[in-house]
Structure 1
Amino acid sequence: MPDRAEVVCLCGSLRFAAELRAAAHELTAAGAVVLAPSEVAGPLDAQQRAALGRQHLRRIDRADRVLVVNPGGYVGESMRGEIAYARAHGKPVSFTDPG
């Protein structure tokens, strides 16, 4: 058994919240520690969105790898930035739908 559990950061659009939750459940059941985007109710202003974006980059910093949850191959603008950030910091990146 490894000394510590693998830490996986999920990236994906919150329009796919159900798919993000399913991926988190599957990884957790397999023994991983999962870091995922926060679901926030209601509209956010630009400052709040920016703060959440910075928090998510900190999740990527703490992860061993990144899993992009992208049904249908969808990768939006903010996800492209997160993927670039992860790769620039040496994090392996994989996709649920390599499309």
Structure 2
Amino acid sequence: MLSLPRIVVICGSIRFMTEMIDADLREAQAGRIVVKPACDVKPHELRSEPAKSEALKVRLDDLHRAKIRLADEVLVVGDYIGDSTRTEITYARSLGKPVRFTHPEVDPDA
């Protein structure tokens, strides 16, 4: 059987992309495989047309839920939890995934 390192998915508001990159490095240094939001598309031309922007958001949300299913655990980055991140936390916990926080005080279930 193939033995793999633990996989951690990073969740959080895109406003914390710099912190996500830092967390990615820390987790990788600890020997974990890291997946996170692919990019910050807010200023991107793909978001300039509302219908296409909404379709892209749905597609990216679906992909992120797939990352949560793939992962062994979730790391929530940042000192703010918005609706999307709250939904991801709820989804991860519904799957029995452990959820860690860089700022434990923002855990909606604490």
TM-score by length of 2: 0.82
Cα shift readout 1:7-26 (whole Å, capped 9, x = no counterpart) = 00000111111000000011
Q: Residue 77 of structure 1 aligns to which amino acid in structure 2?
A: D
User: Match of 1:21?
Assistant: 21
Q: How does 1:59-98 map to 2 (within 5 A)?
A: 59-70=67-78, 73-98=79-104
Distance 1:62 1:68 in 2: 16
Aligned structure 1 segments of 4 or more residues deviating by more than 4 angstroms: none
Cα deviation for residue 77 of structure 1 reads 0.4
Instruction: Provide the aligned C-alpha RMSD in A.
Output: 1.1
- How far did 1:94 drift? 1.1
Letter matched to residue 10 of structure 2 = L
2: CA distance, partners of 1:87 / 1:10: 14
Cα distance in 2 for residues equivalent to 1:77 and 1:53 = 12
Query: Sequence identity of aligned pairs in percent?
Result: 40
SS at match of 1:4: coil
Question: Secondary structure at 1:75's aligned position in 2?
Answer: coil
Indicate the structure (1 or 2) with the bigger Cα radius of gyration: 2
CA distance in 1 between partners of 2:8 and 2:64 (Å) = 12
Q: Which runs of 5+ in 1 are unaligned?
A: none
Q: Displacement of 1:42 after TM fit?
A: 0.7
CA drift of 1:62 comes to: 0.4
